[in-house]
Structure 1
Amino acid sequence: MVLVLFLSMSLVCADENSTSTLEDVNIDANDISMYYKNGTRLSAELNDLNDNPLPDCDLVFSINNQNYTRTTNDDGKASIAINLIPGKYLANIYFLGNNQYSPSNKSVNVNVLPTISGNDLVKYYKNDSQYFATFLGSDGEVLDNEEVTFNINGVFYTRHTNQNGVAKLNINLNSGNYILTAYNPRDGFSFSNYIRVLSTINGSNLNKIYRDSHQYWVTVRDYSGNRMGFTNVEFNVNGVFYTRLADKNGNAKLNINLPAGKYIITANNLLTGELTSNTIVVNANSETKLTTQNYVFQQNDDDTIKARLTNKLNYGVSGETIDLVIGNNKYSTVTDDDGVACFNLNLKQGNYSLTFTHDANSVYGASSAKSTVETYGGIKVKIVCEDALILMNNDYEIKLYDKNNKEFANQTVYMGIGSKVLSAVTDDNGVAKFNVDVSGGIYNARIFYNGTGYKFTSNFSKISVIENTKTLIVPMTFQVNEGCGDQLFACLYVDSIVLPNEKVIIEINGVNYTRETNENGLVNITINLNAGKYSIKYYYAGNDEFLPCSNSSILTVNSRVKTTLTVLTGSTFHKNSGITYNLELKADKVLPNREITVKIGSKTYNQKTDSDGVVHIDIDDYAEGSYDVQYSFAGDKTYAPSSGSAKLAITSQIAYGYGYWVLYSNMYDLNLASLASQGTQHIFLHSYAFTAYGESSVASRIRQANNYGIKVHIWMQIAYDGGWHGISNKDGTYNYDLINSKVNQAKYYASVAGVSGVHFDYLRFGGTAYNFPKAAESINYFVKTAVDAVKSINPNCLVSAALMPEPNNMLYYDGQDYSTLTKYLDFVLPMIYKGNYNQGTAWIKSTTKWFVDNSNGAQVWSGLQAYRSDDDITRLSVSELTGDAQASLDGGARGVVMFRWGVTNFINFNSLKMS
C-alpha cells in the first residue's frame, strides 16, 4: 500500500517557528501476536535521538488498507485497538515530521489468531465421521463445558465443549456440499468449514427407447465408500417396489420395460438407508441411422465389412436385422450390443458397390447406407523372424518363403530399425543377413518384402543391440513376508539390456541355488525362511560372449500379522430359519474381501468376506443332523493364515433360545459382536422402533444382527398401550377392530426382510378377565387368526407370546387359556419374575417345569427378571442371573430371555448346561 499524505504549511507539532536543522527521531514498536479481539493494542513510542519522548505528535497507523491517526501522550506513546479478523498483517507506522523533527516510519507484523479451529470434512452419508471444532478464550485457554453454536444448512445447533475445548456436531445430512459455521460465545468470532457428504448410492437419469437394451443402474457403497458386492438394493418405480442383488462391484440393475412415458425411480441403499432418485424417459419409437465406410482389401484377406445402426439418442441398437446387397447377392445378420452388424466375406478381385438396409418395425424406423469395396490381388509370401540379442555390427538373420512355402532365394528384403532402412538379399536357403550397424538399444524392427507381382508382406521382431559384453546382476527384492510364498528376484543385464537364458547362482544361508534367467532377464526363488535378516549373494559365471559378475544384498523376512477366525453364530440351527452360518476374519482390524474356505459336512464353500470381515454361509438346504465344520483362511502377503473347527446341528425343532427384550430406544445401543460372542441368539425388539426410525433403518439394523447369527423378533403390545383395551367386550362380543388391527400389524412385521419372529405382549386382560364372558375365547381366536396370518406371509416366522407365571390364576384373571394357546404358538415365555413374586431360584425351576409339562406343543422359554423387582431396579449380579437361567433349563425350558436390555448385566449363555 502507498500512503499519500498532503501537508499544509502549518505543521502538526509545537515549535512551529523553529528554523533550526531538523532532528532525526525513532519510532519504537514491536510485532504482536494476539487472539481475536482480546483487547491487545498495537503501540508505538516516538523519541528523539536522546530517547526523550515526543508528546503531542501525530502518528499514522496504516493496517489492512486503513489509516488511523493517533496523538502521542506525555510519554511519547500512541496506540490503536486491533479488531481485525484472524490473519497476518503488516502494519506501517508513520511520523510525518515537523519544523523540528524529520519524518520517520516503522513496519511491524500483526498476527491475529483465531479462537475457533476446525477442519473441512469429507464423509460418506451417515457414517461415523463427524465435525469437531476447538474453542479458545481470549487468552488462548480452551473453553471447558461452554455452550457453543453451529449453523449448517440454515439450522442452528447448540452443543457443549468438553474439557479440551472441543465440541462435536454430528453430520447426518443428505449427500451434498455444505458450509458449516461455528460461533464463539465469548468474542462473537465465527469460523467456517466446508462439509462434503458423499453419496452411498449413485445413479443417473435414463433416456431410452421402449424395450431397448439400456437399463437403470446404481452403484452402492458402505459407510466407508467401499463398493458393496452381492447386496440387495431396493427400487421403487411407478409405485412398484423391486429388490435386486448387486454384482461383485456393487452395481445393481433394474430392467426398465415400462410403456412410453416419464417416470421417477428411487433406489434405496438398504445398509445406509440413503435414497437416490432419477428421471426415466421411455420413448415409444425412434428413427434410425445406418453408418459405414469404404473398404480396400487384398485378395484372400478376411474381408470383414461393418455397418452400425443407431437410434435418435445416438445409442447403438441391438438385435435388429441388417441386409447387405452386393450385386445380385444378399446377406443378412443381426446387430450386436453396440448396434454393429458384421459381414465376413471373401471377395474376388474387383470393385463392388454395397447397399445396407434396415426395415422399419413398430419401434424403429427404416434406414440405409451405401459404400464401396476395392479388392486387389498379389502372390503371398512369408517372412519368418525372431527376437534376438546381438552385438553391434553383427548379423541378424531372417528367412523368406514363397507361395508354396519353399525357401525364396535371390530376393531383396528390407529392415527398418531405428532411423535406418537396411537391405539384404536371400541366399539359396532363403536366408537374408542384415549387418546391424545401429547404436546400442532395444528396437522394434520391421522386416518387409515388396517384390513386383507379390503381395506386400511384413513382420516384426524385437532386436536388442549391445555395444559391449559387460554384465551386471541387480537384486530386486529386499523384503518379503514370512510363510506366504513370496519370491526373491534379481535381474541379469548386459550393457543395460536384460540377458535371458543364462544361469545364475543364488546363495542363501550358505546354500547355493541355480536358476536360469527368463525372457526378461529375471531369476527368482521362493523364500521359506523364518522372520529375520539374511545375506544373499549372486553369481554369474559368464561365457564366451559375456563377462562374469557378482553382487550381494540383505533380505528382510517380515512376520505376517496374526489373524483369527471367529464363529459369530450359535451351534444349533432351526431348519429353514433363514439365518446363515457366519464367520468373522480379524487381525488388527476386520479383514474385508478375503477368501475363506468353509467345509460343512461334505460341502465346501469358498466365499469372500464382506465389508465387515464376515462370510455368510446359507445352510437352509441341509438336512437335520450334526455336521463337522472346518474353516480356514489361507493368508496373504500381509496376514497370516488361520483355521478352526466347530460342530453344527440342524434340527426341525426350535433350537435353544437365549436373548433379551430390547426397547426401541436401545436399538442402536446393542453391541452385537459382544452379545453374539456370549451366546445371544435372539433379540425381542419393541415395535415402536418402526415408528421412531422407519422401516429401512430397522431392517438395516436387523440385517446387522442377522450377520452375527442373532434373530430378531418384533415385540408388539396387544391389549395395553398406556390403557387397557379388551380383546372382547363385556357383552361377550369380540373387539374385532382391535383384533383386525393387531393381526394386520403382525402380518406387516412378518413381511419385513430379516424378521425371524413376532412376539405378543400384554396378550391378556388387566386382571379383570372374569368380567368378560368370552375373555379366553377371544384371546384364543386372536392368537389362531394371527398365527395363520403370519404364517401365510412367512411360514418360517416364529410366533410367541409372553404369559403370566400363575398357573392357577392366569385363566380367571388374565384370560390366558394355556392348554389352547400352546396348540397355536411356536413357543411361550412365562414371565417368571421372581422379585415381583418375592420368590427364589427354586420357584423359577418349579414354575418352568409346570409350563413345560402342561404345554400342548409350544416350546417353553423362561422370561426372567434381570433386576431385583419393579420396586427396586438394582441389577442382579452375573452369577445370580446365571443361576436363575440354569434353573430354567433344569426345569425343562428350551430358552431363556432376560427382561430387559438396559437394566441387566450380561451373562455368558454359552456357560449354561442344556437339560
Structure 2
Amino acid sequence: MKNCKYILVLAAALLCVFSCRKLTPDEIVSKTYAGLVINEIAAHDELADIDSWVEILNTSTADVSLEGLGLYLKDEYLNDKCVWSAAPGALAAGERLVVTSATGQGLSTGIISNAEFVLRLGTKDGSVDKFVRSEIMPEPQYNRGSYQRIPDGGDTWRNMTYSTKGRPNEIFDWKEPLPNAIWMWSSHMEPMMANDAEIMKEYWRLGYRHLLLNSAAFTNRPHEAVPFMEKAEEIGFAVHGWIQAFYKGGTWNVPIDKEKKTIKEEVFADMRELGRLCIEEFGVKGLHLDYIRWPSKASQYNFTKEVNSVAAVNRACRETRELCDKYDEGLVTSAALMPEPNTTNTYAQDPSQMGKYIHILMPMCYRYSYGYSDTGLVNCMNWFCNNSANAEVWSGLQTYDKSTTGLSADAIYTDIMAYRQSKATGIVLFRFGLGTFPDVNDIWKTTD
C-alpha cells in the first residue's frame, strides 16, 4: 500500500514538473503558427535575370494567422535579418504564399544558392520552420530550379531542375496533361508572349499542353527564353527542348565519318551538352529529337556492327534517355520520324529500336506533303504504332496545305479526327504561326 502511495506521489510530481516546464521560443512559435512550412526556395541572386522567391505552405486543416510572422536570413552578409514581414491576414488550410525579390513583392533581398545560408520562418525569437542549406541541400541550385519539399509539404527536400512556383510540388508526369503538342521555333516566343501571353493562354484554353521549343531559343535568345519558360509554367504548359540532332548550322552533321569509317564523337558530345543546357539552365520538362536520321542513303555508312547508321541513331536515342533519367524528375523524351515505313537503309530510323529508349515517337505523316487520304493517314500511323516497341506514338500533322497556306480551324480539326481513327495516342501540330488551331480539349474522350 505504501508503495502505491509512493508511486502516485512520484507520478504527480513528475506531471507537475512537465506541465510547469517553460516552453522554448521555438515551441511557442511552432504552436502559434502550427502547420506553416517553408515549402520551396528559389535562390537565384547570383543570376542577373532570375528572381529569388520563397513559397510558404499551410499544411494544417485550419486557417493560420500570419500576424507577426517573418522570414529571417543568415548568410555571409546578413545575420538572421528579417527579409520579409507578413501583411495582416491569414493563410487558409492548404493555401500557399509566394514571396519574391521582384520589385515590390516583399522579399527585401535575393538569396544566393552557391553559398551557405540559413532561412527560417517565424519571429525574431523563434522558428516554426528552418532551412539550413549546408545540412539539407548542400549543392547549388540549377538556374531555373528550386529546392522543394517532395511530396508537397513533406519532410524530404530535393534539388529540382524545374520549379513549381505557387503550385503543388510534384514530379512531372508526362502522361497526365492532355497529349496535344505544338512545334515552335525560337522566333515564335515573341508573338506567344505578346499582350501578356494572350496567344499562349488561348492555346491552353483550346486544350494544348506541350510546347516543343527549338533549342535555338536557349542558345541564341536566352533573355527571351527565361521569361517565356516562367510564363509557360505559370499557365501550365510543359516545354520540351527541341534538338536538331544530326543537323547543325544549316547543314547535315551525321555522326559517322564516311572516309575514315569512324564515329564522330563530337556529334554525340554536342547533343549531350545541349540537352544538359536545356535541362539544367532552363528547366525544360523533356528533350525532343528532330533530324535524328540521315538525309538519305544511310546504308552507305554501315561499316561494322558498331560503326553503322542505325546504331548511331539508336545511340543518340539511348544517350538522350539516359541523360533525362539521370535527374529522376520524370523528364520525357520524344523523337520526330520520317513517315515512310521500313526506311533503315534510307534514314537509319528503326522505330522498333528507337522506341526502346524514347517515350514518344512522332511520325510526321503529313497529309499535304505526301498526299495521304484518310485511309492512308491511318495506315501510316498504325504501322508506327505496331512497330514502336515500348513507345507511345503521337501523330505529327500539318497546319498548312501544300502551298504553305495556313488551314482553317475546321480543316485542321477534320484532319485531327482522321488521325484519331488510328492507334496513335497524341497529336503534334506543325507549326505555330500557320493555320488557326482548333479546340482539342475533347478529342481523346471516349464515348459509350
| 2:205 is equivalent to residue 672 of structure 1 | no
The amino acid of 1:705's aligned partner reads A
Query: Root-mean-square deviation (CA), in Å?
Result: 3.8
- 2-structure distance, mates of 1:823, 1:802: 15
Q: Which ranges in structure 1 are unaligned for 5 or more consecutive residues?
A: 1-228, 260-267, 281-335, 339-577, 579-602, 604-614, 622-649
Tell me, what secondary structure is at the counterpart of 2:220? helix
TM-score norm. by structure 2 comes to 0.61
Quick one: structure 1 residues 831 and 914, their matched pair in 2 at CA, closer, same or farther if it must change by over 3 Å? farther
Does 2:322 match 1:788? Answer: yes
Query: What is the SS of the residue equivalent to 1:910?
Result: coil
The code of the aligned residue for 1:763 comes to I
Partner of 1:720: 247
Q: Does 1:235 align with 2:34?
A: no
- Structure 2 residue identity aligned to 1:727: P
1:707 maps to amino acid: E
Tell me the equivalent position of 1:746.
275
SS at match of 1:815: coil
Which one of the candidate residues 387, 392, 402 is aligned to 1:859?
A: 392
CA gap of 1:763–1:655, structure 2 versus 1, over 3 A, is same
Q: Distance in 2 between matches of 1:753 and 1:779?
A: 26
1:620 counterpart = 2:164: no
Give the alignment partner of residue 663 of structure 1, picking from 181, 185, 193.
185
**TM-score, normalised on structure 1?**
0.31
1:693, CA displacement in angstroms? 2.7
CA distance in 2, matches of 1:758, 1:271: 33
- What's the counterpart of residue 204 of structure 1? none
Asked which structure has the greater CA Rg, the reply is 1
The residue type paired with residue 182 of structure 2 is: Y
SS for the counterpart of 1:665 is: helix
| Separation in 1, partners of 2:284, 2:251 | 28
The residue correspondences of 1:833-844 to structure 2 (distance < 5 A) are 833-844=366-377
Question: RCO (CA 8 Å, sep 6+): is it higher in 1 or 2?
Answer: 2
The residue number in structure 1 matching 2:409 is 878
Deviations 1:660-718, CA, capped at 9 Å, x for gaps? 11111111312121111100111111111123331x64233222112222111111111
1:75-114 to structure 2, matched below 5 A, reads none
Secondary structure at the aligned position of 1:716 is classed as: strand
User: Is the strand fraction higher in 1 or 2?
Assistant: 1
- Gaps spanning 5+ residues in structure 2: where? 1-38, 57-65, 79-99, 113-122, 126-144, 146-152, 154-164, 193-198, 303-307
Could you tell me whether the CA contact under 8 Å between 1:863 and 1:899 is conserved in 2?
yes
> Is the 8 Å Cα contact of residues 298 and 348 (structure 2) preserved in structure 1?
yes
Q: Is the 1:849–1:891 contact (alpha carbons within 8 Å) kept by the matching residues of 2?
A: yes
Which aligned pairs between 1:772-851 and structure 2 lie closer than 5 A? 772-773=301-302, 774-808=308-342, 810-851=343-384
Quick check: 1:233–1:246 contact (8 Å CA) kept in 2?
Answer: no
Please say if 1:756 is aligned against 2:285. yes
CA deviation after TM superposition for structure 1 residue 911, in Å: 3.7
In structure 2, distance between residues paired with 1:242 and 1:269: 6
Distance 1:841 1:791 in 2: 37
Contact 2:174/2:332 (8 A) holds in 1: no
Question: Per-residue CA shift, 1:229-283, capped at 9, x if unaligned?
Answer: 988451229x9x996526799x987532489xxxxxxxx96899xxx999x9xxx
Rounded to whole Å, the distance in 2 between the matches of 1:669 and 1:803 is: 28
Which amino acid in structure 2 is aligned with residue 701 of structure 1? Answer: F
Q: Specify the code of the residue in structure 1 equivalent to 2:204.
A: A
- Of all paired residues, the percent bearing the same amino acid is 25
- Which secondary structure does the structure 1 equivalent of 2:251 belong to? coil
Report the equivalent of 2:212: 684
| Cα separation, partners in 2 of 1:843 and 1:231, compared to 1, 3 Å | farther
Whether the 8 Å contact between 2:286 and 2:331 is mirrored in structure 1 is yes
Residue 742 of structure 1 aligns to a residue whose secondary structure is helix
Counterpart of 2:290, as a letter, is D
Kept in 2, the 8 Å contact 1:233–1:270? The answer is: no
Does structure 2 retain, via aligned residues, the 8 Å contact 1:236–1:242?
no
- Structure 1 residue 791, shift from structure 2 partner: 1.7
The CA deviation string for residues 354-385 of structure 1, in whole angstroms up to 9 with x for no partner, is xxxxxxxxxxxxxxxxxxxxxxxxxxxxxxxx
Distance change (3 Å), C-alpha of 1:654 and 1:733: farther
Shift of 1:792: 0.9
Amino acid at match of 2:214: H
By how many angstroms is 1:753 displaced?
5.1
Q: Distance between the aligned counterparts of 1:271 and 1:814, measured in 2?
A: 52
The one-letter code sitting in structure 2 at the alignment partner of 1:717 is Q
Q: Equivalents in 1 of 2:261, 2:237: separation in Å?
A: 42
Deviation at 1:619, TM superposition (A): 7.0
SS at match of 1:758: strand
AA at the equivalent of 1:678: L
Instruction: Sort the Cα spacing of 1:271 and 1:760 in 2 relative to 1 into closer, same or farther, 3 A.
Output: farther
Cα deviation, 1:34-82, whole Å, max 9, x if unaligned, reads xxxxxxxxxxxxxxxxxxxxxxxxxxxxxxxxxxxxxxxxxxxxxxxxx
The answer for the alignment partner of 2:436 in structure 1 is 905
Question: 3-state SS of the aligned residue for 1:836?
Answer: helix
Give deviations 1:192-219, integer Å, cap 9, x for gaps. xxxxxxxxxxxxxxxxxxxxxxxxxxxx
Distance (Å, rounded) in 2 between the aligned partners of 1:728 and 1:914 = 45
1:703 is aligned to 230
Flag the 1:752–1:843 CA change in 2: closer, same or farther, 3 A.
Answer: farther
Asked if 2 retains the 8 angstrom alpha-carbon contact of 1:244 and 1:254, the reply is no
Choose from 245, 257, 260 the match for 2:54: 245
Shift of 1:805: 0.7
1:862 counterpart SS class: strand
Partner of 1:353: none
Given that 1:861 and 1:897 are in contact with CA atoms closer than 8 Å, whether structure 2 keeps it comes out as yes
The letter for the 2-side match of 1:669 is P
Within 1, Cα distance between the matches of 2:267 and 2:409?
Answer: 40
The alpha-carbon distance between structure 1 residues 782 and 659, as it changes in their structure 2 partners (threshold 3 A), is closer
Q: Check whether the contact 2:206–2:440 (CA below 8 A) recurs between aligned residues.
A: yes
> Contact (CA 8 Å) 1:245, 1:252: kept in 2 or not?
no
Q: State the alpha-carbon separation in 1 of the partners of residues 77 and 269 from structure 2.
A: 36
Q: Quick check: 2:173–2:330 contact (8 Å CA) kept in 1?
A: no
SS in 1 for 2:344: helix
C-alpha separation in 2, matches of 1:765 and 1:270? 47
Kept in 2, the 8 Å contact 1:719–1:762? The answer is: yes
For residues 233 and 813 of structure 1, the distance between their equivalents in structure 2, rounded to whole angstroms, comes to 49
In 2: Cα distance, 1:723 partner to 1:652 partner: 32
Query: How many Å separate the matches in 2 of 1:747 and 1:835?
Result: 36
Residues 882 and 252 of structure 1, relative CA distance in 2, 3 Å threshold: farther
Quick one: structure 1 residues 758 and 271, their matched pair in 2 at CA, closer, same or farther if it must change by over 3 Å? farther
Q: 1:242 to 1:656 in 2, by over 3 A?
A: closer
